Structure 1
Amino acid sequence: MVSELAENVRKYRRRAGMSQEELAHAAGVSPGTVRKAEQGGTVRMETLYTLARALGVTTASLMASDAPEPVGRSEEPNRVNLIQLRVALTPAVGLVDPDADVVGEEPNLRIFRRTLQDARVLYFSDSYASVAAQLPGLLRDAAQAVAYYDSGDEHRQALLARAEVLRLAGTYLTQVRQYDIAYTALRDAIADARQAGDLLTAGSGVGGMCWLLVRQGRLDEAEKIAAQSMDAVEPKITGAEPDHYAVWGGLAMEAAAAAARNNRPDEAKEYRKAAKVAATAIGAAHRNISRHWSVFGPVTAAMKALEDSMVIGDARAVVRKAGEQEELSPMAWKRLGKPSANDGNRFTLDVARAHTRTGDLSAAMDELTRARQAAPQWMRHQNMAAETMQEILGKRKRTLTTEMREMAAYLGVVG
């Protein structure tokens, strides 16, 4: 069966009066890539961005619902590996109330938060297996605390504690591409924060939801909820608290990321301007990982803006800005503060891909090596790392270096 995606690519190409070869030239891809798209073959999201831009339509308009492909014989490993986390987030529902609702001894929220902080440190230090092992127990403890404290400020604090552990779960699960239960965790994190009356914590949860939606290709929705949430938390007066600017600016960056990938460059520029305003108001990197999952400031805003150049395929601009833009220089990091580890590593991968596209394979390998040294487990979950390595193997004319062979094996890439 020819997929609806294939039909849409063909329909918009014909509407634009283009041949397959003309579309390929306009998009900067091979004619074979266009043929593959129109024949129902697997097409990378990045390729859809470029085809949509060449056709003058949004990326979302090329994507449509279609019958799922038959599954393979083997179960996807993480569905089994994370079964206890699935049980905690999506418990079985029957006709009898579960025993977990029985209220036991009074929980100690101070100890719970300390344990949650330890799990958060494990996540940011790349210890994914340890995070997965701790999350089920943390989720059960948080649920019991909410059930025990059924009113007053203690109930509010219990809700916020559960929102934090749900945010950790949702972020981790998005990272390892378990999008179904990641959505459940993030949805519930936002709901708990809203019920507790903490709009900024809820807004930061929306940022996590936007990241998930962008990874799923749900670009219209990601931009919409980010923009709506920006309006809800917009700082109304000069001199608002840094947390306020950081959450608002973070949502602006999420809206920009979705708009850029959806072939809405003008809208993306406006969101980037808003993020820059927020970053300028803060002045230096502001950190609030525990409640808002935020490291936001001029360096982060500049790094995220650089992604737009990579999305539209302007690799030379990425290389140039990475080397020349003040906020991205090592001196600026000392003066303005470092970005989060994830943002810094993502920036490294952007630069690696840009070097690959401009033909500097040695510089690309240097960046990949830097990312691997900084976050080896994180890197294995990044499609961009594998795709960049695949491009390096395709462009390398001489015998692969030992470093290239070893990196390809590490990322599971076959040349």
Structure 2
Amino acid sequence: MSSSLQENVRNHRRRSGWSQEQLAEEAGLSVGVVRKIEQGGNAQVETIHMLARALGTTTSSLFATEAPEPIRANVGDGPKLSELRRALMPPVGLREVIVEADRAPALASIQRDIDDSHALYHADHYDSVAKKLPAILRDAEAAVTLTEGDDRQKAVVVRAGAFLLAGKYLTQVRRYDMAYHALSLGIRDARDADKTHIAATGVVGMAWLLLRQDRFDEAERLATVTAEEIEPRMSSATAGELALWGELLQRVASAAIRNNRPDVARDARRMTHTAASALGREHVDFRQHWTTFGPATAEAKAIEDLALIGDHRGVISRADEGPVGAKGLQKFGRPSANNWDRHRLDVARAHAKLGSHQDAMDELSTIKASSPEWLRHQSMARRVMTEILERRKRTLTQDMRDMATHLRVSG
């Protein structure tokens, strides 16, 4: 039976014996917000999470299951992604996918293009990745189709890497259906080639995609099962194996904390710190396991949990201490750019929530200086900027106006 958000919230509230005023007080929300939701209004996942925590249920249990509203307009992919869609989703007929090449491209050349594009992705050059991916996918498909014997399995492994790169990029730019298709194909290719750790790398990406779609139950289950299957022997594990296991555990914790399952999240974070301690320092490997994990990353994600439960003072108190402090970074190494930027975005949000608008702006400006395109794709950055615009009583500074323009926020 389908149900709406308003029905789910109302039913849980009534089972608790609370009025709307009581629920608002327990959740730390205004009565107007609760009333609006129960009258059929929309709400951000963050607000639903606060309601779930107050009601003692999971966030996903409050989500609507009714049919969606009709789509009013077809936005489409635009010129940047239409070519990528054609390469990723070619027409399927009675035979193999039709390839234009008459000779298999060199696998070493395709792998170099994948590695170069991965470097571009982490350097924040998303347009360049979008331009390179179609040719990579077509070449990888041609290599598999036109190769036989042992070389064909090698071509399948290379194609798996191409698909996983496409899935990672498409998740970042929020083309979720295309991302799911690419990640699924990559995981299946890796499984078929008996490359378990490449497949598990794809699962890390798939769990990230599910988190972005608010599919918390599925993300937690997928990451948990996969982490159990690849759990390394601590005495003999390689750095790559420990890092990949740690990344999967982080997905478990991230899904659980968002779904109001703090005990599960706490256990997963404890195991994450075990993996990080065994590593001893940050492990950044975009060639074999595509992993970025270590003590500083584990601490940054633990601080992210504080942000998600609304402990803004806790975020600020730990933001520059321990493994993520200056001495810690020197000792353990820096996380990947994306993980570090996400950590500082949590800090910016905490400052904004506490009314320290200039401190929030300083954090946003620092991120913008190093990762402008990444920042533009972050919905949290837009929410932080919107909050600054709405709550600041004094005249906006030029930096604030420039940031609002960069993030396409009006106010």
Q: Which category of TM-score, normalised to the shorter sequence, fits these structures?
A: over 0.9
Question: In structure 2, which of residues 321, 341, 344 is the aligned counterpart of residue 348 of structure 1?
Answer: 344
Structure 2: 5+ residue stretches without partners: none
Deviations along 1:158-182, one digit per CA (max 9) or x if unpaired, are: 2221111111111111111100010
1:222-263 Cα deviation digits (max 9, x unpaired): 000000001100013413111111111100000100000000
Aligned partner letter, 1:106: A
- Residues 271-308 of structure 1, C-alpha deviation per residue, up to 9 Å, x if partnerless? 01111111111111112112322111100111111111
What does 1:24-63 align with in structure 2 at a 5 Å threshold? 24-63=24-63
Aligned length: 410
- 8 A Cα contact 2:90 2:97, kept in partner: no
Alignment of 1:10-21 (within 5 A): 10-21=10-21
**AA in 2 matched with 1:9:** V
Q: Deviations over 1:28-74 (max 9, x none)?
A: 1222211222222221111111111111100110113222223233x
Counterparts of 1:209 and 1:221, CA distance in 2: 10
Matched, 1:139 2:129: no
Q: 1:113 aligns with which of 111, 114, 126?
A: 111
Aligned partner letter, 1:61: S
2:153 to 133, 153, 156: 156
Deviations 1:354-391 (A, max 9, x none): 11111211110000001111111111110000001111
The 8 Å contact of residues 103 and 147 in structure 1, kept in 2 or not, is answered as: no
User: 1: distance between equivalents of 2:288 and 2:30?
Assistant: 46
Trace 1:12-411 onto structure 2 (pairs within 5 A). 12-73=12-73, 75-78=74-77, 81-95=80-94, 97-100=96-99, 104-152=102-150, 154-323=151-320, 325-411=321-407
Alignment partner of 2:342: what SS?
A: helix
Which structure 1 residue ranges, 5 or more long, are not aligned? none
CA distance in 2, matches of 1:230, 1:98: 34
TM-score of the two chains, using structure 1 as the length reference = 0.95
* Residues 1:97 and 1:145: Cα distance change in structure 2 (over 3 Å): closer
Tell me how large the CA RMSD over aligned residues is: 1.6
Q: Secondary structure at the match of 1:156?
A: helix
Secondary structure of the structure 2 residue equivalent to 1:295: strand
TM-score normalised by structure 2 residue count: 0.96
C-alpha deviation, 1:95, in angstroms = 4.4
Misfit runs of 4+, over 6 Å: none
Of 336-345 and 60-69, more deviation after overlay is shown by: 60-69
Deviation of 1:97 after TM superposition, in Å, equals 5.0
- CA separation in 1, counterparts of 2:292 and 2:394? 42
After superposition, the C-alpha distances for 1:89-108 in whole angstroms (9 at most, x for unaligned) are: 222234465432x7731321
Partner-residue secondary structure (3-state), 2:194: coil
The AA in structure 1 aligned to 2:341 is N
Q: Quote the Cα distance in structure 2 between the aligned partners of 1:96 and 1:203.
A: 30
Alpha-carbon separation, structure 1, partners of 2:23 and 2:80: 43
> 1:301-355 deviations in whole A, cap 9, x for unaligned?
11111111011000010000113x3101122112211101100110110000011
